[in-house]
Amino acid sequence: TTIDRDPWPPPHKHPRMSRFARKGKAPKGFEAIEQTLAALETELRDKVNEGHEGKRKVEAIWPIHQINWQRSRYVYDMFYKYKKISREVYEYCIRMKLIDAALIAKWKKPGYERLCSTYVINTKNYKFGTVSICRVPKHALGPDTIVEDPHTGCLGCSSGPGGQRNIFGNKYGQYLASIQVARDQERERRRALKDAAAGGAAEDARAAVASAGGKGKAAAAEEVADEDADTDEGGEEGPMPDTVWAVNEEERNMESISSKASAEAEREAAKAVARAGGGDGGG
């Protein structure tokens, strides 16, 4: 007698579809950020699944807070600062929970532009009803004070002069929107140069091939083909990076919050704290 068995794995246990494919088709323009979001999702999954040997227990959750910040900052900057995505795409990311809407809401307030996580401003999470040390402005700390929030790994996310540009001190504190926009501009520059030189280069190439004879003609044709290939791959400037994170010091130093805006934010935050007699960690 044969026994009918349920299929394995059950239908609901099959590999999950991408988060981007749930709740209907993504809106037009989502492709501008899809590659970066997919890279961050993969990175988060890998970090969650990797071993925690040699780490403190709290360090295991650092990547969760940090990648959540980077993913939210990326979409926030692409929409608000660079205008590279539509409101429809931005709201789709919120609806799909691809970004942290509560954290973004805080970034819009003076003094919270760099906030690493809403966790660090919840006074219930810290002793004596305070907030994390990472929220204390640098100028208010002693010269030898070590800043590192135990729950997020943040090295300081207060606004104002002297603030930490990369709040985590690693690749998760990089401003990916700034990096992507700069690379797109570089691609456009290279494409414009290539198009501008194409006419003259083509004429020179045909003349070189026509004037060569025998083996020289074949060598000239091969040289022209090699030059075209080099141009397609980036030429002497090299190919464009294939990672969403910074590959050089210039990209690592990019940020989307200007020092002027941060200084103004700190002044506004100080006024607000003075009026409220405390507040919840702005500054």
Angle at 193 between CA 191 and CA 194, to 5 degrees: 65
Q: What is the tens place of the pLDDT at every residue in 119-160?
A: 999 999 998 899 999 999 988 888 889 999 999 999 999 987
> How long a stretch of residues is the chain?
283
The model's pTM:
0.75
pLDDT of residue 153: 97
Mean model confidence pLDDT for the chain:
81
The contacts of residue 63 (CB under 8 Å, 6+ apart) are 43, 44, 47, 48, 172
Reported for 241-248, long-range contacts at CB under 8 A and 24+ positions apart, including other chains, are 241/183, 243/39, 244/35, 244/36, 244/39, 244/40, 244/176, 244/179, 244/180, 245/171, 245/174, 245/176, 245/179, 246/171, 246/174, 246/179
pLDDT of residue 205: 63
Q: What is the tens place of the pLDDT at every residue in 103-129?
A: 999 999 999 999 999 999 999 999 889
Q: Which residue reads 């970090």 in tokens?
A: 47
Q: What is the tens place of the pLDDT at every residue in 6-48?
A: 443 444 443 444 555 555 689 999 999 999 999 999 999 999 9
